[in-house]
Amino acid sequence: MNEMITRQQVTSGEIIYVWTDPTACIGSHPNRRLFIDSFTMAGIDLDKNIVAIEGGEDVTKADSATAAASVIRLSITPGSINPTISITLGALIKSNTRTLLESAVSSILQAGATDMKIKLGNSNKKQEYKTDDAWGIMIDISNLELYPISAEAFSIKIEPTELMGVAKDGMRYHVVSIDGLTTSQGSLPVCCAASTDKGVARIGYIAAV
């Protein structure tokens, strides 16, 4: 398995790119998984509906939902002021929650506002199986707050799928793709595949001071 985040990327200030399979978080297997226990966007909370499994843990012992969303794709381009961020999430969302979310985002953007906040909860700790035979993080995005770079740069798509079936209340697995984001946070903890030793990736230089 190739390294997801390399030391070269971090020390050279290159783009940080993380991806996982859309349903990687729900099984006991050696594949990477990255998920968060809460997600709030434009004041709308996604319920914790996914029974996500930490790396190395037994799926047969899972008895409750642990995640609001799985991170399928995360792209962070470091910037001299702030980074440019795109994120794609998978979440089990009811149809009425999707309507509320789309309406809230639309109202804010139509007003030309860019103060819409996206708040991530805690991310899991056993994301990738390292070459030193232990599970560790790829990137810690716990409590990361994101907001649009501008109303023009921001875009969002919420697409329903049938990856995890369809519940009677209309809840199904949606893929939520959001582009044109940034953050005032200047760095994030990261870890390459060669070791569970953590490092720090600088993503926004003026933002960090």
- Give domain status of residue 197, yes or no: yes
Q: What CA–CA distances, in Å, run from 202 to 9, 16, 181?
A: 11, 10, 17
Statement: the pTM of the whole predicted model exceeds 0.95: no
- Give domain status of residue 207, yes or no: no
Share the mean pLDDT of the chain. Answer: 88
- Give domain status of residue 109, yes or no: yes
Query: DSSP of 158-181, one letter per residue?
Result: EEE--TT-B-TTS-EEEEEEEEEE
pLDDT in tens, 166-195: 776 778 999 999 999 999 999 999 988 766
Question: Which pLDDT belongs to residue 1?
Answer: 55
Domain count, the chain: 1
Which two structure tokens, joined as six digits, stand for 68? Answer: 């609001």
C-alpha triplet 19, 20, 21: angle, nearest 5° = 135
Question: Which pLDDT belongs to residue 137?
Answer: 93
Query: DSSP of 100-158, one letter per residue?
Result: HHHHHHHHHHHTT-----EEE-PBPS--EE-TTSSEE-SB--TT-EEEES-TTT-EEEE
Note down the domain range covering 50: 7-202
Q: What is the DSSP letter of 80?
A: S
- Give domain status of residue 208, yes or no: no
- Give domain status of residue 13, yes or no: yes
- Give domain status of residue 55, yes or no: yes
Question: Which pLDDT belongs to residue 131?
Answer: 81
pLDDT band of 2, cuts 50, 70, 90 = low
pLDDT in tens, 134-158: 899 999 999 999 999 988 899 999 9
- Give domain status of residue 96, yes or no: yes
Q: What's the rounded mean pLDDT across residues 97-119? A: 84
pLDDT in tens, 41-100: 999 999 999 999 999 898 888 888 999 999 999 999 999 888 999 999 999 999 889 999
- Give domain status of residue 15, yes or no: yes
Share of the chain above pLDDT 90, in %: 55
